[in-house]
Amino acid sequence: DAEITQSPRHKITETGRQVTLACHQTWNHNNMFWYRQDLGHGLRLIHYSYGVQDTNKGEVSDGYSVSRSNTEDLPLTLESAASSQTSVYFCASRSSGTNEQFFGPGTRLTVL
């Protein structure tokens, strides 16, 4: 079955360290997205990609970057982790035809 996976599922890091969260999908979707979810804010879009070599900023992109070298993967990098980036991060992929979007299981990141 096609799926979307994220790793690690839990991560504790220190302020100032670079962190990369992995996202891998086997749906063969061109569209991939990264969100963070915090109490009181709901799901907020960080970055997204509509295909290989395409990346776009979302509403809360500062301090984050992505790269898309193949269809299956969209890693999210925190260049210099800050305590404000403690959150739950969800990756998602979406069918271009139906717009149905599916989420990965999430990564809980704690920045100390």
Partner 1 sequence: QKEVEQNSGPLSVPEGAIASLNCTYSDRGSQSFFWYRQYSGKSPELIMFIYSNGDKEDGRFTAQLNKASQYVSLLIRDSQPSDSATYLCAVTGNTPLVFGKGTRLSVIA
Closest C-alpha to 107, from 3, 5, 39, 7: 7
Tokens 């980036």 appear where? 85
How far from chain centre, in Å, is Cα 40?
Answer: 19
Of the candidate spans 10-18, 62-70, 79-87, 104-112, the one that interacts with partner 1 by CB under 8 A turns out to be 104-112
Q: What is the nearest approach in angstroms of partner 1 to the Cβ of residue 83?
A: 22
Judged by CB under 8 A, how many residues of this single chain contact partner 1? 19
Q: What is the nearest approach in angstroms of partner 1 to the Cβ of residue 1?
A: 15
Site for partner 1 in 57-76 (CB under 8 A): 58
What is the chain's length?
112
Residue 13: beta bridge partners? 111
54 binds partner 1 (CB under 8 A): no
Rank residues 64 and 90 by Cβ distance to partner 1 and give the closer one. 90
Closest C-alpha to 46, from 109, 112, 99: 109
Binding site for partner 1 (CB under 8 A): 33, 40-43, 45, 48, 58, 90, 94, 98-106
